[in-house]
Chains A and B, each alone.
Chain A
Amino acid sequence: MIRVGVTLTRAGGWPRMLLVGGCTAVVTGLLLVVVAILRLPAEPAERLFALVGEPGLRGGTTFATAMLCVPALLLLYQAVRLGTAARERRLAALRLAGATPGDVRALGAVEVALPASVGSVAGIGVYGLLRLVLGGELAEVRLVPTSVAPAWWQMLIVVVGVTGLGVAVGLLASRRVVVTPLGVTRREAPPPPRPWGALLLAVAAGGFATLRTGVPRQVAYAIVFAAIAVTVLGIVSLAPWIAYRSARYVLNRTASPTLTLAASRIVAEPRPVARAAAAVGGIALVAGGAGTTATPALQQTDDPFYLVSYLLVAAVLLVALVMVVGTLAVHAAESLLDRKRSIAALAALGTSVQEMERAQFAEIALAALPVAAAGALLGTIALGGLGFVTPLSAAVQLLTLALTLGLVWLAIELAVRATRPWVRRATSVENLRTA
Chain B
Amino acid sequence: MKLTVWTYEGPPHVGAMRVATGMKKLHYVLHAPQGDTYADLLFTMIERRDHRPPVTYTTFQARDLGADTAGLFKKACQDAYDRFQPEAIIVGASCTAELIQDDPGGLAETMGLPIPVIPLELPSYQRKENFGADETFFQLVKHLAKPQTKTERVSCNIIGPTALGFRHRDDVAEITNLLFELGIEVNVTAPMGATPSDIAQMGKAHFNVLLYPETGETAARYCEKEFDQPYTKIVPIGAGATHDFITEVRALSGSTASLDSQALRQTWWSRSVDSTYLTGKRVFIFGDGTHVKAAARIARDEMGFEVAGLGCYNREYARDIRAIAKEFGVEALITDDYLLVEKTIETLQPEMILGTQMERHIGKRLGIPCAVISAPVHVQDFPARYSPQMGFEGANVIFDTWIHPLVMGLEEHLLHMFREDFEFNDAAGPSHHGGHQPSGTASVQVPAAPEQSLALSTGGDVAIWLAEAEKELKKIPFFVRGKARRNTETYATSQGLSEISVDTLYEAKAFYAR
Q: Are these two chains actual partners, yes or no?
A: no
Q: Which B residues fall within an 8 A CB radius of A?
A: none
Q: Which A residues fall within an 8 A CB radius of B?
A: none
